[in-house]
Amino acid sequence: MRHLMSGPMKAPMVMDSLQHLPEIIGKADLNKIHAELLKCLPSLPSIPDLDKVKNELMTSLRSFNFSSLSGWNVMEHLTRCLHDKFSIKGLNDEKMDFLSPSLVQPITRLPFYAFLAGAMFCLLASSTCHLLACHSQRLSYILLRIDYAGIAVLIATSFYPPVYYSFMCNPFFCYLYLGFITLMGVATIVFSLLPFFQKSEFRKYRASLFFLMGFSGVAPVMHKLILYRHEPEALQTTGYEVLMGVLYGLGAAIYVARIPERWMPGKFDIAGNSHQLFHVFVVAGAYTHYLDGLIYLRWRDLRGC
């Protein structure tokens, strides 16, 4: 829980890409880098053994404290030498395939922050509802609707990081999936605000609505696996997403089945009832999705499109 609430402070920024600089250097073509620098600095001496230099550089970088570079502007130092080659207009695969794309054009964190905001709104709405719903019938009526709206917001925003970072290089599918889940989220929130939705006979329909909303994520996940089936990150993120779905699904199933209080009525009125277990699974699922989002960010920082 602590990690989830502190998520915005932990989300990797552009400078965090430097932490992976040894990995970038390991994949880099130093001959290309040296050739580009020679165009900029003709007096640069020739390097007889670039492979040896690469190994020594990687060793040094692994032991370097990058936190001391928090005020260093990467773009400013690069553009002093290479000018157009590091401007956004001058980018192309031929010139830039030896550097991490995020060092030149930062990968946006907005989808990741949207998910964190949605998760915190859901948990805050739920906590407020459980704390103050006993105040009066009118306040309980309002807070229950906000609680259901929070669940819809969490499910909708959970789609944003995987969909955006999976299809950021395919804008059509990116906007298609994001638009679809956003419309579903808005529709679910509106439906949740209707008075009849709170009746006990609609308990199964409430859970089913949220379950179907989450199940719609199967389509973009399968599409991602088809596009990036050879990428280890695609398989790794899919594993987290399956685990997240299992956790959310178990929570919804326990909530609908009213386990374990249906077996021993009155024994779980204070602790251990289905609603409390449901919230435990929701927090576990949200934290799993947070770890999933970090993998997406690192993947796109290192690989770009």
**Model confidence pLDDT, tens digit, residues 90-100:** 444 444 444 54
Give the residue, 74 or 59, on which the prediction is more confident: 59
Q: What single string gives the DSSP state of each residue in 234-247?
A: HHHHHHHHHHHHHH
Q: Which of 81-85, 138-142, 209-213 has the lowest mean pLDDT?
A: 81-85
pTM: 0.64
Q: Are 166 and 300 in contact (CB under 8 A)?
A: no
Q: Are 104 and 114 in contact (CB under 8 A)?
A: no
Confirm or deny that 77 is annotated as ligand binding.
Answer: no
Mean of pLDDT over the chain: 75
pLDDT at residue 290 tops 60: yes
Position 3 scores a pLDDT of: 46
Share of the chain above pLDDT 90, in %: 27
Position 302 scores a pLDDT of: 83
Q: Which of 74-83, 153-162, 279-288 has the lowest mean pLDDT?
A: 74-83
Confirm or deny that 135 is annotated as ligand binding.
Answer: no
Domain ranges of the chain: 12-103, 110-303
pLDDT band at 50 (very low <50, low <70, confident <90, very high): low
pLDDT at residue 238 tops 60: yes
pLDDT at residue 128 tops 70: yes
pLDDT at residue 171 tops 70: yes
Q: What angle do CA 222, 210, 296 make, to 5 degrees?
A: 40
Residue 121 CB partners (closer than 8 Å, separation 6+)? 150, 153, 154
pLDDT at residue 161 tops 90: yes
pLDDT at residue 16 tops 90: no
The label of the residue with tokens 């993998």 reads 295
pLDDT at residue 73 tops 60: no
pLDDT at residue 136 tops 70: yes
Confirm or deny that 34 is annotated as ligand binding.
Answer: no
d(CA 42, CA 127): 64
Q: Give the pLDDT confidence of 181-204 residue by residue, as tens digits.
A: 998 888 888 877 777 776 777 767
Give the residue, 275 or 207, on which the prediction is more confident: 275
pLDDT at residue 177 tops 50: yes
SS3 232: helix
- The two structure tokens encoding residue 210: 């949220």
Position 42 scores a pLDDT of: 55
